[in-house]
């Protein structure tokens, strides 16, 4: 009988940049599904497969996470336009 918790991915040691990107990608998915107001840091953390405290480690609050995500998204779009 499998007693492992559901939806648990093996832990990976990621760089700070990789971890921030992982959290921001989860934030985008959350906003797409629930909108900005409905987005929750708890659900974002769960989507990213990290503890909620880790989200707070990298971002001061929801607004900081969303602002960082928007900036990163715009940079990616600009890079695609230049290419």
d(CA 47, CA 30): 8
Looking at 3.90.1580.10, 3.40.50.300, 1.10.10.60, 1.10.3720.10, the CATH number of the domain 16-82 comes to 1.10.10.60
Chain centroid to CA 72: how far? 12
- What residue spans define the domains of the chain? 16-82
CA distance 57 to 51: 10
The per-residue pLDDT for range 45-70, each reduced to its tens digit, is 999 999 999 999 999 999 999 999 99
Please report where in the chains the tokens 């480690």 appear, as a residue. 57
The residue ranking higher by pLDDT, 6 or 13, is 13
The band of 13, judged by pLDDT with boundaries at 50, 70 and 90, is confident
Token pair, residue 22, equals 């992982």
Give the model's confidence band at 29: pLDDT under 50 very low, under 70 low, under 90 confident, else very high.
very high
14 in helix, strand or coil? coil
């Amino acid at each position: 009988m499998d007693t492992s918790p559901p939806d648990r991915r093996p832990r990976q040691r990621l760089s700070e940049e990789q971890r921030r990107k992982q959290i921001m990608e989860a934030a985008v998915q959350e906003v797409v599904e629930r909108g900005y107001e409905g987005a929750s840091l708890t659900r974002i953390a769960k989507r990213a497969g990290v503890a909620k405290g880790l989200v707070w480690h990298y971002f001061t609050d929801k607004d900081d996470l969303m602002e960082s995500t928007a900036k990163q998204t715009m940079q990616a779009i600009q890079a695609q336009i230049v290419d």
